Amino acid sequence: SANDFMALYLGLELNSLAAYVLASILRRDTRSAEAGLKYFVLGALASGILLYGMSLLYGFTGGTDFGVVREGLTGELATGALFGLIFVMAGLAFKIAAVPFHMWTPDVYEGAPTPVTAFFSTAPKVAAVALTARVVFDVFGEQVLAWQQIVMFTALASIVFGALGAIGQENLKRLLAYSSINNVGFILLGLAVANEAGASAMLVYLFIYVAMSLGSFVALLMLRSESGDLYETFADIKGLAVTRPVIAWSLLLLMFSLAGIPPLLGFYSKFVVFQATVEAGLIAFAAIAIGASVIGAFYYIKFVKVMFFDEPAGVVTGKSGVAHWVLLILTVTIISPLGYFLTPSLTDLADKAAGALFMAV
């Protein structure tokens, strides 16, 4: 809700400092400590880049208020102001884990406690994406061609890298980290369209992605032993359909939805983004994204192969709490074909939010 770059920076830093602590909250776990340290070091670098970009914009426009900066960026863009815009976009790209500022994501997702990882993949990501949308439309709205190229490159790079990077992963949390990078690419594809339809498609995709991501991490939280130890590799979920069929079938639906396979709701999220991209005339970019989406389906299908066709490992024997079951059933219901009943309301809300965004412009 910031309307000034100083307020924006303070809000982001308060959010980030809390996130660093959460990532390393298991003090005796070396992976958690490593995740927190990597997140802190790379986050500090990104914050420096963001702050430097803001200082350049201040120097070339004479203010930090969004309205003042927008007015100062009208007309021909000075080289220094262009660098300021690029640095601000780079800092925001780190916050949403978009390529090439994604390097912290797999290590932090793997090392942080699973509930923290589930949180990182949902709430802060929604806020960062909404913030990025506000900055590009509200502040850089007069220089669409300048930032559109950056967002388009970042979107396609995230889609391709996320799809290819996940193929060789054996740790489920690392795989979902690359999946998150891949999905951020599709979200940014909607943003790159740079119109109301694209912004609306981005918001629809974001809602559905949050449901899919939350459901996936809740399912991982239910992969535990009798003593409560969590499992998080493909070797641990071999033959899960035999020993814990409900979790296995839920994971199957969630993975197929993330892959965009109809009739699950994940297909609709990709459809609206591709539709907005094609209608804007960006057909080549939509084709590349669709091709990368097909590649990404490989590692989602790997879940199914391991859970349904391998010999049971028999290690997932622990019981899960009521809250986990409620969340899993709720998210699976949302991404199932029943979720299509939500699409009229969801589209209407997204249209209104996108309209308000452009109205503010």
**How many other C-beta atoms can be found within 10 angstroms of the C-beta atom of residue 243?**
17
Q: Is residue 358 pLDDT above 80, yes or no?
A: no
**What is the predicted pLDDT for the residue at 326?**
93
Coil vs helix vs strand at 62: coil
Rounded-to-integer distance, Cα 77 and Cα 96, Å:
26
The mean pLDDT value for 108-125 works out to 88
pLDDT tens string 273-332: 999 999 988 888 888 888 888 888 888 888 888 988 888 887 878 888 899 999 999 999
In the block, tokens 């449901």 appear at: 211
Listing DSSP states for 272-340 in one string gives: HHHHHHHHTT-HHHHHHHHHHHHHHHHHHHHHHHHHHHSPP---------HHHHHHHHHHHHHHSGGGG
**What is the predicted pLDDT for the residue at 359?**
67
pLDDT tens string 48-104: 999 999 999 999 888 889 889 888 888 888 888 899 999 999 999 998 889 888 888
Residues in the chain: 361
Judged by phi (left if over 0) then psi (alpha if -120 to 50, else beta), residue 262 lies in beta
Could you tell me which residues come within 8 angstroms of residue 254 by beta carbon, excluding any fewer than 6 positions away? 212, 215, 216, 219, 331, 332, 335
Q: Among candidates 158, 313, 338, 321, which has minimal Cα distance to 253?
A: 338
Angle at 31 between CA 25 and CA 34, to 5 degrees: 80
Q: Is residue 361 pLDDT above 60, yes or no?
A: no
pLDDT tens string 230-277: 888 888 888 888 888 999 999 999 999 998 888 999 999 999 999 999
Helix ranges (DSSP H) in 62-99: 66-72, 79-95
Domain ranges for the chain, please list them: 5-360
Confidence band for 334, pLDDT divided at 50, 70 and 90: very high
**How many other C-beta atoms can be found within 10 angstroms of the C-beta atom of residue 9?**
17
**Residue 13, both tokens:** 């830093």
Rounded-to-integer distance, Cα 273 and Cα 213, Å:
18
Rounded-to-integer distance, Cα 312 and Cα 113, Å:
26
Angle at 67 between CA 93 and CA 54, to 5 degrees: 40
pLDDT tens string 169-196: 888 999 999 999 999 999 999 899 888 8
**What is the predicted pLDDT for the residue at 360?**
53
Give the bridge partners for 230, in sequence order.
Answer: 224
3-state SS, one letter per residue, for 123-152: HHHHHHHHHHHHHHHHHCHHHHHHHHHHHH
